[in-house]
Amino acid sequence: MTPIVLAIACLMLVTLGYASLCAGSPFGNCRKCNGLGHHLHYDRKGRPKRGKRCRRCKGRGKRVRVGRWIYNRASRIYREGTR
Ligand SMILES: [Zn+2]
């Protein structure tokens, strides 16, 4: 019985932590370009150069977190349903 309660407590803790993260900073770094907004090219001397604009984040380097995206969608549906 006790291990199950412990597992539920851990899951709750992780969920609450992620929810507070989404509330505190709704935007996270783009995983494709690590927040740079563009890809990196290396020239023949091995120095990094600015490459193409990142397609995933459209050059912004930031993306809306999944939890925040769900919250935005849910709050919009609620607002339009109760008008
Ligand atoms: Zn990106």
Mean pLDDT by 10-residue block, N- to C-terminus, for the chain (83 residues)?
Answer: 88 89 85 86 87 87 90 94 87
Tokens for 66?
């999944």
pLDDT of residue 80: 94
pLDDT at position 79, please? 95
pLDDT score at 27 = 87
Dist CA 68 CA 38 (whole Å): 24
CB-based contact 34:28 (threshold 8 Å): no
- The confidence score (pLDDT) of residue 74 equals 95
- CA–centroid distance, residue 71 to ligand 1 (Å): 22
Q: Which residues contact 51 (CB under 8 A, 6 or more apart)?
A: 38, 39, 40, 41
How far, in Å, is the centroid of ligand 1 from the Cα of 43?
Answer: 21
pTM equals: 0.64
Question: 25 C-alpha to center of ligand 1: Å?
Answer: 17
Phi-psi region of 42 (alpha: psi -120 to 50; beta: other; left: phi over 0): beta
* pLDDT score at 50: 85
Distance 68 CA to ligand 1 centre (A): 18
What pLDDT is recorded for position 71? 93
Per-residue pLDDT at 49: 84
Q: 70 C-alpha vs ligand 1 centroid, how far in Å?
A: 20
pLDDT on residue 19: 85
Question: What's the distance, CA 82 to chain centroid?
Answer: 29
